[in-house]
Amino acid sequence: MSGKKHKQPSNDLHFIGLMSMASQRIPDELLRNEELIKDLEKIAKDSLLMHGVLMRTKESPNSSEVVSYAPFTLFPSPVPTILFSQALNVATHFNRLIDKVSQSPCFLEEALASTIKVDSFTAKLFNIYRQVQQEPQDMAIVLGLNRSDYMIDHADGKEALKQIEINTIAASFGGLSSQTPNVHRHILKVADLMEESKLILDNNPAAGLAKGLAMAWELYGSERAVVMFLVEEVQRNIYDHRFVENELWARNIRVIRRKFEDVSRSGYLDQNKRLFVDGQEIAVVYFRNGYMPQNYKSEQSWEARLMMERSCAVKCPDISTHLAGTKKVQQELARPGVLETFFPDEPETVIQIRATFAGLYTLDMGEEGDRNMAMALAKPDQYVLKPQREGGGNNIYGEEICRVLESLNSTERTSYILMDKIQPRSIYNYFCRNGEPVELKLCISELGVFGAYVRRGKEVLMNECVGHLLRTKSVEHADGGVAAGVALLDNPLLI
């Protein structure tokens, strides 16, 4: 395929002002070249399959007999270099912040006091936290694997990196995003964009996440003990896990995959609080499940979570780190003066973290909450209303905010927080989805940055930024991730 093809635009496609998009890095004439796009589509799909960028199908979510490629954008999306670097540079600060919050019982108690009165899921997690707090954890080994997500706001003309949230439990796509750079590089080369292909960065979160898991396993200190991935019933995203698993096996660390039911059925603690499941000693529990109410099918699942939390196995995350990732904590951290209490001698760290905060507002009972509610009702399009939930598709936008807020009493209101709506620049890209022809969409991107840290007692033994993830979705969808079928895997093309 030659570069000449770019110069034969098809008139069939209706393009609206594409050329005026300053940040569109992929040439307009290429995006219009239907014949080339069809070729690239085939090449992309094969390349995704060959690099293992896979997901199981909706039809057979627990079988590897028939699988498909994960949703993917045909082209990488532009991300300003300076903001990309900012996101990477702040990652180790966020690791430390989350770790400090997890060790601050008074802060967690206060921050979540109103939430746990109305949100039964957070209350159940908090109940486990309180029980575990009763027990000594002096030399506990802590492993944090998180993903801080950002959008680039350009509402007032200037571009600014703004944090959407930080995920401290089950942050996904570190595995598949370790493979996607190869695919975009290949597509760009075929499209005769050699120079652009060189701009696709290497990325290997799988190795970095596994490094943290391996260090925790080693600190636990028992050769025969295993790393247990605690997984969901439906495992469409298993290949994402497998990349991390395989890194551990390559280090001769055994990995098992178990569900809450398996832990309930066969798990126990010995007199030294060592955790055993199906007869195997567990060094590390890596939660890839347990972040949504529906993950806990019965009281037994909650009992299993408590048992794992009480054990001396390393939990990733432990219950306090899980709670440190709630949206209510995010909102409380954005209050004036709060970051300073965690970094009293580090004004520069505070500045760097705070620079990424969007406006976050409490809806707790009282004057401040009333004021914030009135502000949301007056201009609902400027805000996002967020409950204490994970996994995408839970937030409320626009007029719906008014309907929801007006239907709640002031107690119920406190299960939500309010956040400024980030307005990223939109660009055109083609979507590659299983079973659908490629489709040109106007879309926005969300950048995730993976952090990994290990601490034993007071000693921090690892604190790293271990990679990134770009997810892109159509502007039609306000919410929802890759797993929810809305967003697609992508790569940043630094500009």
SS3 494: strand
DSSP string, 109-160: HHHHHHHHHH-HHHHHHHHHHHHHHTS--TT-EEEEEEEEEEEEE-TTSS-E
In degrees rounded to 5, what are phi and psi of residue 152? -100, 110
> Can you read off the two tokens belonging to residue 452?
């990994």
For residues 149 and 196, which CB has a smaller minimum distance to ligand ADP in the complex? 149
- Does 158 belong to an annotated binding site? no
236 is in an annotated binding site: yes
Q: Which residues are catalytic?
A: 147, 165, 167, 172, 327, 386, 390-391, 471
Tokens 């690892």, residue located: 462
Exactly one of 390, 418, 429, 490 binds Mg ion (CB under 5 A); which one?
Answer: 390
User: Which of ligand ADP, Mg ion, none does 479 bind, CB closer than 5 to 8 A by kind?
Assistant: ligand ADP
235 binding Mg ion? (CB under 5 A): no
| Residue closer to Mg ion, measured from CB, 30 or 98 | 98
In the complex, what is the shortest distance from the CB of residue 174 to ligand ADP, in angstroms, rounded to a whole number? 15
Across the strands, what pairs with 56?
67
Residue 446 touches which of ligand ADP, Mg ion, none (Cβ within 5-8 Å per kind) = ligand ADP
Least gap, CB of 477 to ligand ADP (angstroms): 8
Min dist. Cβ of residue 154 to ligand ADP (A): 12
Distance of alpha carbon 115 from the chain centroid: 22
Q: Mask 140-179, x = binds Mg ion (CB under 5 A)? A: ---------------------------x------------
CB atoms within 10 A of CB 433: 15
Neighbour tally for 352: CB within 10 Å: 17
Tokens representing residue 288 in the block: 């890839």
We find the least distance from the C-beta atom of residue 390 to Mg ion, in angstroms, to be 4
List the beta bridge partners of residue 464: 452
Q: How far apart are CA 432 and CA 426, in angstroms?
A: 18
Residues making contact with ligand ADP (CB under 6 A): 149, 164-165, 358, 384, 386, 389-392, 394-395, 419-422, 446, 479, 481
Q: Distances from the Cα of 81 to the Cαs of 88, 145, 192, 329, 370, in angstroms?
A: 11, 24, 23, 29, 40
Of residues 311 and 372, the one with the C-beta less far from ligand ADP: 372
Q: Is residue 149 within 8 Å of residue 445, measured between CB atoms?
A: no
Residues marked as binding for ATP? 165, 327, 386-395, 397, 419-422, 446, 473, 479
Catalog residues that contact Mg ion under the rule CB under 5 A.
167, 390
